A and B are shown apart, each in its own frame.
Chain A
Amino acid sequence: MSSWCSWFSVNPLQRISSLVLLTAMLLICGASTAADAPFRRGDPNDDGNVDISDPIMILNYLFGAGGSISCFDSADINDDGALDVADPINLLTYIFGGGTLPPDPGPFDCGLDPTPDGLGCFDSSCDGAGDPQRTVAGHLLNRLVYGAGPEDVDRVINLGISTVVDALLQPQTGDEIGNTLLLALENVFTGSIPVNDEQFVLRPNGSFHYFLGFEEPPFDWTQPGFDDSGWQVGTGGFGRGDNDDVTQIEEFVTTDLASIYIRTHFVIGDPLGLPDMYLKMLYDDAFVAYINGVEVVRSTFDNGSPHLVGNPPPFNQYSAGNHEAGIPEYYLIPDSLLQPGINTLAIQGHDAPNNGDFTLDPTIVTQVSTGSPDRDVIFSDGNLQRFMFIRGIYSGRQLQTVLGEFWENHFTTDEQKLRDLLRNVRNRYNRRILGSNVASRMHSASLEFEEYDFFRDNALGYFGDLLLYSSTSVPMLVYLDSILNFAAEPNENYAREILELHTLGVDNGYTQTDIEEVARALTGWTVTRIPNGMIVPFPDYVTTPVTTSNHSWVTTELIAIGDDWQYFKGTEEPTPGPSGEATTAWTELGFDDSTWLTGPTGIGMGDNDDATVLTDMQNNYISFYARKTFTINDPATPDRLELEVDYDDGVVLYLNGTEVARSQTMADAPAPPPFTASSGGHEANGRPMLVDLDHFRHLMVAGTNVLAAQVHNVVITSNDTSFLPRITSNVPTSRHIDLNNRQGQWNFRFNPDQHDSGAKSIFAGTPYQLDIPSGRIGADGVLDGIELIDALAAHPGTAQFVCIKLIQKFVSDEISLATVADGSAPLELQGLLADMINAWYSTPQPGHIQTVLEVLFDPIGLGGPFWNTDNMKMKVKTPVEFINSTLRSLGALASSDDLANWMKDMGMDLFQRAEPDGYSEVGSDWIGTTTLLERVNFARRFASNVDNDYQWNISSFIDISQNLGAVEVIDIFDEVLFQNTLTEAEKCIVIDYLETDLDGLPWPLDPTASDYLNRIRDMVGFMFSLPRWQFQ
C-alpha cells in the first residue's frame, strides 16, 4: 500500500506492471481521481507551453530513447486512447501550422479528458489548478474578506468580481440591520450605561461605624436612634482581597466571619425637592441595606432570588452565591423612606463561604437624565477580543472589518498598560477610584473598544484622520507615554514611534533631532476626565481642546489661614477627667474657651511659617490645643466642605466634639491622646492633609459650629512645630468632575502649562521642513501638534510607508521599505506602489484610503498585481485570519469564547501586545513549530465538533442518505475549502488517512456505520492541517 501513490514516478520500462498497480489504486483511491488529473493536451513536458519540445519528448518515449511521461493523456494528441507515433506527428503538424487543434481540453486550457480511455494523467501542473473563476473568487474572499463561507464563492461569481469589490470598498454606515446573528452576539459582549448627571449625596470613602458579625448585633442596630458609639470607626469601603478596599477586614479569611454591619448618616433637604436618589453599591458577595431602619433593598441573583434570607438575615449566614464588585449597581431609594435633615444608612454585608475576597462599598447619589443616548461599554479585555472575532466571522462589512484590524494593529496600544494606569488613578483624597481589576478593565477595555470602533468606522477614510485620532486617543496617550511628555522633561517614546512605526517608517527621512523636535511639539498632550456636557465629537475635541484639569471649584473660605484661634499650651490636660485622664470636653461646641490665649494661624514655632510663635514650647511642652468657631447656614447645602491642614508633626481634629480626622503620625495614639503624647515626624510642606467634611454633615448644626485641634510635636526638644488649618466651601463649576463619579469620560486634554512654547523645526533642511513659531499661548499650543500631524500625513515618506504596508497586507509581503530603497522589490509591486502613491495625492487632502485601495484592487480593470495568479495563495494566514477563515469555511456557529486563547497560543494577542510595532504582516514571522501546532490542534478540535463554543453542521455538506464514499466526500470538502485545487497526491494521502484505522490497516468508509460522520469530521480536521490551509 505504500507505493500506489507514487505510481507515476516509476520508470517507463515498468509501465506495464504499473498499469496493474493502477487497477489496485482505482479500488482504493477511487475510480475517478488519481489517474485523471487535468492537463493541457500537447504539453507532456508540462512546461505550460505547447512547442517543439513536446513532440520530441513523445518520440523519445515511444522509441525508448529516455524520459518518462507522467501524464499520458497529454501525449494522446488525437485522443484515440492509445499512445503511438500518430500522436507526435499530429502535434508536429499542428505546431507548424498545418494541423487541427488537439481535442479538448486542447493546448491552452487545463481540463480533464472527456473520453474514457485506458490512459491516465498522474502528475501535471494543471493538477490542482482548479477553475480559474473559482480561484479568483476565492482569492478575493481570502484577502478582502476573512475567507470564504460555504456559498460565498458562488455568490461572488454570480454577482461579478467588480461588483463585489465595489461593494466592499463602499460599506454602509450605521448598524448592520438585518445581520441578526452579528447584532445578537455583539450584544453579549457589550453593555450600555446611561449618561446621567450624577451627584453624590453620600460620598465614597465615608466615615462609618462598623461591627463584625461574630454575634448578632443589638436588635435595633438599623434605627436612627441606635447608639453606635461602641462600634469601631472606619473609612468605606470595607473588605479584603482585590486591592479595592480601604478598611481591611482580614477576619473574613482568618476566621469563619460571615458578616459585617456598618452605619453612617447623610444629610439632605426636602426629599420631594430632590432628583431621584439611588443607593450605589459595590459589593462582594451580598448585602441588605436599610434607610432609617427600614429595609430598602437586598442583593439578588440574576433571576431575582435573594442572596440572603431572613428578616434580618442572621449574623452567621453566608451568601448563597458569589458576586464580584467592580461595576456599581444602583437601587432607587423611595422618597417615603427619606426625611429632611439627618438620615441613617445601615447595611449588613455577607461573604460567600470559603472565598478570599469581600467588599462593601456604598454611596448614595442623585441622578438626572441628560437625554444623551446610553454609552456603550465592554466589560473586559477578553470580551474585546471576542468582539473582534464576532465581527471578523459574521460582519457583512468584511473589508472594513479586515481594515479595522489592520489600523488597530498599525496604531497598536496595550490594554494592560492602560488598565494598570487607571487602577492607580487616585482622587483628591488619595483614594484609588477604580481599585479593582474588574472596574479598571471595564474602563480600559471600553476605551480600547472606542478606539478600535473609530478605526473600523473610518477604515476607508483619510489617513490623516486616523493618525490624528490615534495621537489623541486615551489608549495611545497612555501607551507611548505622551502623558509624561512635559516641557521641562520631554519623553521621546511617542515621538520616535509616530515617525518610525505610524508614518515614515524606520530611518525613512528623519533624524534624532527630528524626534526631539516632535517630542517638544507634542508636550502638554495628556488625558483628563470631562463631564458628559463637555463631550464633543472628533476632531473638535482636538482643535478646541479641553485645557483645564478635572478639578474646578469656586472656593469660599469659612476658616482662613491668619484667622484668630483660641489656643491652650499643652503643659497639662485642658479638660482632665476624674482621674486626670484626657477627655474631649474641650472640643465640644459649648466649651468655654474664653480663658484660652488668642492668636492668628499658623500657630507654632520654627521654620518661619507661623504667625503666632510659641517661643516657650521647646523643652517645655509637646502639644497645644486650639479651637475656632465658624458658621454653617444649612448642613444640607450641596457645596463641598473641605478641611485642609498643613502640620508639623501631628494633629487630631474634632468637629462639634467628635473626632473627624487625625494625621497618620498620630495613628498609634489613644483617643483622645493625652497632652504628653508624642507624634511621629512630619514637616509642614505645602501639601496639606485634606479631609472631606461632607462625610460629617450629620455632626453639623445650622449656625455656629466649632473645629478643635490638638497638635503634637515629635519630641519635647524639637525646634519646630506648625498648625495651618483652613475650611473651605466649594461650588463645583460645570467643568468639574468627581473622579469617583460614573458620569463623564476620559478624554484628550491639552495642558498649556506643560507645553514647550519655543520655536521648533522639524525635517529641517529638507523640502518638507516644518517651522513652528514660538509663543503660542494657551490652547493655541495644540496647533503645534496638529500642524505636525498634518505635515506627517502629507509627507511622501508616509505615503510610501503606509502604501507598502497595504501592499503587504493585501497583495504580497515581498516588498518592504528596504527592498524599495535598494530597488530589489518586485518590479510589478514597485509599479503598484507608484500608482498608489499617485492616488494618495489625487484627493484634496492626501491619503484617502478608499481611493488608494481602488488602485490596489483595480476593480474596474481587474488587472494589476492583486489579480496576478502568482500572488494568490502566497500569504501566510495570521492567527486571526487562520481562526476566522477556518470557522467561516464551514459556516460555524461560534460564541467566540476561547478563540482569544487559541489566538494567543498561536502567537497573537490583539490589544495586549507590549511592543509598539504591531503584529507582522510578513509570512516568515508566522511560520514556526508552535504556531503550526496550535493551528492544527485548533482546527482539528473545531472539525471534530466537540467544543460547544464553535460548532458546525456537517449535514449542510453531507447528505447521509446519499451513501457517499470517500472520494465523493473528499471532493465536497476540496470544493468547500480549496475551490477544488487539491492535487492527486494530496487526495491520496487524505483518502489514506480517512480509510486507515489506528493499527494502520485498511478501513473502508462505510456510510451505514454509526461512526460515518465522525470519521468525516476527523478527515476535515486533517484537511485543515494541510500546508495549503496555512495560506491565503
Chain B
Amino acid sequence: MMNRRDLLRKGGLAALGLILPPFVGPQFLTRKLLAGATGTGTGLKKMIFIFQRGGNDALNTVIPRGDADYSQVNRPGLFINDAEAVDLGNNFAQLHPSLDPLMEVFNHTSLNGVPGPGNLAVLHRIGYPEQSRSHFSAQQFWENGVPGNETLDEGLLYRRFASVPGFADNPFPGAYLDDSLPVVMRGSIPMPAFPATADYSFSGSLAQVEKFLGALPSTPGGTDGHGFYGVYGGKPDIEGGAYRDILMPTGVKLGESVSTVQQALAQGPYVPENGAIYPNNTFGEQLSEIAMLLKRTPATLLGVNIDGWDTHTGQGRIVGAHPNLLASLAQGIQALSRDLQAQWEDVLIVTVSEFGRTSIENGSQGTDHGAGTTMFVAGGNVVGGVYNCDPTTWAPGSMFTVNDRYLAANTDFRAIFSEIFSGHFGDDPLLMEQFMPGFDAAAVANPELFNPLGFMG
C-alpha cells in the first residue's frame, strides 16, 4: 500500500499546484524585478482585476460594425444599429451604448494634465488555442494561466505577485473581494478574500479579539505562541495533510489581513475623490472598497467578480440584463479612473471573461457559449485605442471561424498578460514561462497569437 508521502507526491500536491517546474530562487527574482521596475510611474505598480464571470457576449460589447455578419439577420433581437452604438473612430469598432461612460477614459486627454491618447485599451478577439466552452474549465484556464490543465489550482496572478520580494511577509499584499479566493490568486502563500470590509472582523471586544488572536511563536512552526496565531503559526498536527499546509498560513493571513483592513476602516468613512460615482450595487460597492484599500493599505493586487454574463435567455439589447451589466462595468471603470487619479500612473485595471458567445442569437433572445472575447485595460500607462477590431486585421467571416459558430481568438490572453507584466510591472520577459508554465511552447506553436499588440506604454 502506498504511504502518505507517495500520495501527496502523486496526487495532492499536484492538485494544489505545489509541484511546478523548479522555481527560480528569490535572489534571482529580486535582481530581475528590481532591474525591470525602473520604468514609468512614481510608486508601486498596482493592478485591479475584474472577472466578468459567465462568458461575456463580446460582439454586443465591442461591436464589429465593419463586419457585415454583425447583422439584424444573425441577431434579430440583439442587433445594435449604427446610430445607437458609440463609435470608436476607426471606421470599424463601436461600443454598446451602455459602455458610454468608458469614453471618458478612452478619450480623455487631460486626466493627468497632459494631452495625449486616452488610457483605455479595447482588446477584441482574446482567447487561446482550442478554447473550452465549459465555464468551469475555461475559468480555470484563464485563472491558472495554463490552458488544458484542469487540475492546477495555482493562479497566474498569484505567481506573478508572489515573485515580488517581500510578498510572503506582507500582511496585506492584496485581496479578492469575494467569499472565497478564486484560483487566479491562489497559491501556497494564501491571500485574503472577503466580500466586504465591514464584516471582515472577529467578534468580541478589542481586548477579547487581542487575546483570542494571541501571538505568533518566536520561530515559524514553534510552540511558544499564544491563541489563534499560536496554533495557526505553530507546530502543525498531522491532520488535514496537504491542506493543513494551506490552512495554517491562511489562519495567520486571516489575522493579519483583518487587522490591516480594520485599521484602514478606522481612518474614517471612505469618500471617493474627483467626483467618482460608483455603480449603486454590490459590484460598485466593492470597487469603492478596492479604491479605499489601494489608498490606505500596502495592497498592490485587488480582484473582484461581476457575475451574471451567462446570458442564454433574454439577454437584452439596449435595456435588460446584459446592458445593465455593461453599464455597471463601464460606470465602475470610469469611477475608478476618477477616484484613483493620484495614483493613475501606477494603477492598471484589467477585465477578463472566460469566453465570448455564439455569433448568432439563439431562440431565447440570448446567446450560447462561444470562443474569442474582449478585454479592457485601463490605466495611466496604457496606450489607448482599439486592438484586434479594425478593417486591417478583421477579415470577413471572422465571426464564424470556429465550428462555423464562433469568433476565433486573434491574440492569446497569455500574450496580453505578458505585455501587462512587462509593460506595467517591468518584469523580465524571460519570467513569463514562470508565471505561465507552457508560455514559451505556446508562443512557438502559435506565433500568430502571440504578436504583441503594443497597448502598454
Whether chains A and B associate is yes
Is B363 touching A488 in the complex (CB atoms < 8 A)?
A: yes
Q: Is B423 at the interface (CB under 8 A from chain A)?
A: no
Q: Is A929 at the interface (CB under 8 A from chain B)?
A: yes
Q: List 23 A-B contacts (CB under 8 A).
A: A4-B224, A6-B217, A128-B237, A491-B364, A491-B366, A491-B368, A493-B312, A496-B133, A815-B11, A819-B15, A826-B10, A870-B4, A870-B7, A876-B247, A924-B15, A924-B153, A927-B190, A927-B243, A930-B194, A940-B212, A981-B239, A989-B231, A997-B211
Which of B14, B132, B133, B211 makes the CB contact (< 8 A) with A819?
B14
Which of B151, B193, B195, B313 makes the CB contact (< 8 A) with A816?
B151
Q: Which residue of A lies closest to B205 (CB)?
A: A998
Q: Mark B201-229, 1 if CB is under 8 A from A, else 0.
A: 01110011011101001100011111110
- Known: A490-B362, A491-B312, A924-B15; 9 extra A-B contacts, CB below 8 A, are A6-B218, A6-B223, A506-B150, A870-B4, A873-B239, A905-B199, A933-B258, A993-B214, A1027-B251
- Chain B residues with CB under 8 A of A481: 312-313, 364
Is B364 touching A914 in the complex (CB atoms < 8 A)?
A: no
- Chain A residues with CB under 8 A of B312: 481, 484, 491, 493
> Whole-angstrom distance between the alpha carbons of A5 and B226 in the complex?
10
> Whole-angstrom distance between the alpha carbons of A1027 and B247 in the complex?
7
Is A933 touching B211 in the complex (CB atoms < 8 A)?
A: no
Is B223 touching A874 in the complex (CB atoms < 8 A)?
A: no
Q: Distance (Å) between the CB of A942 and the closest chain B CB?
A: 11
> Whole-angstrom distance between the alpha carbons of A992 and B230 in the complex?
10
> Whole-angstrom distance between the alpha carbons of A489 and B366 in the complex?
11
> Whole-angstrom distance between the alpha carbons of A876 and B250 in the complex?
13
Q: Mark A979-1013, 1 if CB is under 8 A from B, else 0.
A: 00101011011001100111010000000000000
- Chain A residues with CB under 8 A of B226: 989, 992-993, 996
Contact A929-B14, Cβ < 8 Å, known A870-B4, A986-B237, A1028-B237: no
Q: Is B394 at the interface (CB under 8 A from chain A)?
A: no
> Whole-angstrom distance between the alpha carbons of A983 and B312 in the complex?
54
Which of B3, B203, B368 makes the CB contact (< 8 A) with A870?
B3
Q: Is B300 at the interface (CB under 8 A from chain A)?
A: no
Partner-contacting stretch, out of B29-37, B134-142, B162-170: B134-142
- Chain A residues with CB under 8 A of B82: none
Is A914 touching B307 in the complex (CB atoms < 8 A)?
A: yes
Q: Distance (Å) between the CB of A49 and the closest chain B CB?
A: 12
Q: Which residue of B lies closest to A938 (CB)?
A: B203
Q: Distance (Å) between the CB of B184 and the closest chain A CB?
A: 13
> Whole-angstrom distance between the alpha carbons of A976 and B307 in the complex?
42
Q: Is A255 at the interface (CB under 8 A from chain B)?
A: no
Q: Mark A887-913, 1 if CB is under 8 A from B, else 0.
A: 000000000000000000111000000
Chain B contact-residue range equals: 35 or more
Q: Mark A916-953, 1 if CB is under 8 A from B, else 0.
A: 01000011111111111100110011000000000000
Interface on B for A, CB 8 Å cutoff? 1-4, 6-7, 10-12, 14-16, 132-137, 149-151, 153, 179-181, 186, 190, 192-195, 199-200, 202-204, 207-208, 210-212, 214, 217-218, 222-228, 230-232, 234-241, 243-244, 246-248, 250-251, 253-254, 257-258, 307-308, 312-313, 362-364, 366, 368-369, 403
- Chain A residues with CB under 8 A of B180: 907, 925-926, 928, 930-931
Which of B4, B194, B223 makes the CB contact (< 8 A) with A988?
B223
> Whole-angstrom distance between the alpha carbons of A988 and B204 in the complex?
23
Is A941 touching B239 in the complex (CB atoms < 8 A)?
A: no
- Chain B residues with CB under 8 A of A221: none
- Chain B residues with CB under 8 A of A451: none
Is A868 touching B1 in the complex (CB atoms < 8 A)?
A: yes
Contact A489-B364, Cβ < 8 Å, known A507-B134, A818-B150: yes
Is A998 touching B251 in the complex (CB atoms < 8 A)?
A: no
Q: Is A648 at the interface (CB under 8 A from chain B)?
A: no
Q: Which residue of A lies closest to B364 (CB)?
A: A484
Q: Is the interface of B mostly helix, strand, loop or mixed?
A: loop
- Chain B residues with CB under 8 A of A993: 211-212, 214, 226-227
- Chain A residues with CB under 8 A of B15: 813-814, 816, 819, 922, 924
Is B364 touching A5 in the complex (CB atoms < 8 A)?
A: no
Contact A985-B234, Cβ < 8 Å, known A928-B250, A998-B207: yes
Which of B11, B212, B236, B363 makes the CB contact (< 8 A) with A489?
B363
Q: Distance (Å) between the CB of A862 and the closest chain B CB?
A: 14
> Whole-angstrom distance between the alpha carbons of A172 and B166 in the complex?
59
> Whole-angstrom distance between the alpha carbons of A929 and B177 in the complex?
11
Is B190 touching A874 in the complex (CB atoms < 8 A)?
A: no
Is B223 touching A9 in the complex (CB atoms < 8 A)?
A: yes
Is A929 touching B192 in the complex (CB atoms < 8 A)?
A: yes
Contact A907-B179, Cβ < 8 Å, known A927-B250, A992-B226, A1027-B247: yes
> Whole-angstrom distance between the alpha carbons of A983 and B3 in the complex?
22
- Chain A residues with CB under 8 A of B16: 924
> Whole-angstrom distance between the alpha carbons of A493 and B403 in the complex?
18
Is B202 touching A998 in the complex (CB atoms < 8 A)?
A: no
Contact A1027-B150, Cβ < 8 Å, known A506-B137, A915-B135, A989-B230: no
In the A-B complex, the 6 residue pairs with the smallest Cβ-Cβ separation, listed nearest first, are A489-B363, A814-B11, A907-B179, A873-B239, A818-B150, A929-B254
- Chain A residues with CB under 8 A of B192: 929-930
Is A6 touching B224 in the complex (CB atoms < 8 A)?
A: yes
> Whole-angstrom distance between the alpha carbons of A496 and B186 in the complex?
28
Q: Distance (Å) between the CB of B351 and the closest chain A CB?
A: 19
- Chain A residues with CB under 8 A of B212: 940, 993, 1022, 1025
Q: Distance (Å) between the CB of A639 and the closest chain B CB?
A: 37
Q: Which residue of A lies closest to B240 (CB)?
A: A1031
Q: Which residue of B lies closest to A815 (CB)?
A: B11
- Chain A residues with CB under 8 A of B369: 492, 496
Which of A3, A506, A817 makes the CB contact (< 8 A) with B224?
A3
Q: Distance (Å) between the CB of A971 and the closest chain B CB?
A: 17
> Whole-angstrom distance between the alpha carbons of A486 and B364 in the complex?
9
- Chain B residues with CB under 8 A of A926: 180
> Whole-angstrom distance between the alpha carbons of A907 and B308 in the complex?
18
Is B368 touching A1030 in the complex (CB atoms < 8 A)?
A: no
- Chain B residues with CB under 8 A of A928: 179-181, 190, 193, 250
